[in-house]
Amino acid sequence: MSTATSVYLGELRVENTHHKSGNKYITDAPSDNNGKGEAFSPTDTVATALASCMLTIMGIYAEREGIDLKNTKAEVIKEMAANPRRISKIKIDLTFPKDYGVEVRKKLEQIAYSCPVFLSLHPDIEKEISFNY
């Protein structure tokens, strides 16, 4: 069984449906590439997936260790390059609700850098990650 189905709706808009949950989201071409920019672009979803993946796997560790990461926030900035048009840089600023001490901070950062999305992104994409406690 496939993971998801994407359907082109016209006007540079795509509806994406996750098979297991039925959840849907829309992507639009960005306004700087002939689109309306009324939703995440496909490249926005890639950059945001990195932040979401980092938060998720840190959350798995935190829940197992009894650490409260609730309200940890990631601000995502995506930069594009031309010729060919592609993601050139993803900057993520992670802000934690409190300081967890040196050992926990080291572990959280190690886990973030081992997230499957981070490891799957092409090495030419610059990844700038900051951790703010």
Residue in the structure block whose two tokens are 């560790």: 61
Helix axes 42-65, 102-113, angle to 10 degrees: 140
The per-residue pLDDT for range 64-97, each reduced to its tens digit, is: 999 999 999 999 999 999 999 999 999 999 999 9
The predicted-structure confidence for 38-53, as pLDDT tens digits, reads as follows 999 999 999 999 999 9
Domains and CATH numbers, the chain: 4-33 (no CATH), 42-132 (3.30.300.20)
The pTM for the full model equals: 0.94
Q: What is the CA radius of gyration of the chain?
A: 17
